[in-house]
């Protein structure tokens, strides 16, 4: 939400139509059944958002998965396009 605090046009877009603003920011269309709700805090109102519950096994990365994302870098081999790969 840092973008909304720095970019007035994005903030206004979020206020007017949160789902559309998120879709534009992500460059993807969200599923029709997914609702996007914007809650704006005030001096006298604070929101606490509990994340969706996921199955315990889905909440943990394997050591191999963790190695691939550790430090915020992608595995370079995972991003190599083989010329012979069909597009």
Q: What is the mean pLDDT of each run of 10 residues along the chain (87 residues)?
A: 81 94 92 93 92 69 73 51 45
pLDDT score at 57: 63
What is the number of structural domains in the chain? 1
For residue 77, the model assigns a pLDDT of 53
Domain housing 10: 2-40+54-79
Other CB atoms within 10 A of residue 14 CB:
21
pTM exceeds 0.85, yes or no: no
Within 8 A by CB and 6+ apart from 11, the residues are 4, 5
- Residue 37's pLDDT is what? 93
pLDDT at residue 72, as a whole number: 52
Collapsing DSSP to helix, strand or coil, 67 comes out as: helix
Q: Does 86 map to a domain?
A: no
Residue 87 lies in a domain: no
């Amino acid at each position: 939400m840092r973008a909304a605090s720095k970019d007035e046009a994005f903030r206004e877009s979020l206020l007017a139509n949160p789902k559309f603003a998120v879709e534009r920011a992500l460059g993807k269309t969200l599923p029709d059944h997914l609702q996007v709700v914007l809650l704006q805090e005030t001096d006298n109102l604070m929101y606490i958002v509990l994340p969706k519950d996921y199955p315990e096994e889905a909440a943990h990365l394997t050591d191999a998965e963790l190695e691939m994302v550790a430090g915020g870098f992608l595995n370079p081999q995972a991003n190599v396009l083989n010329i012979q790969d069909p597009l």
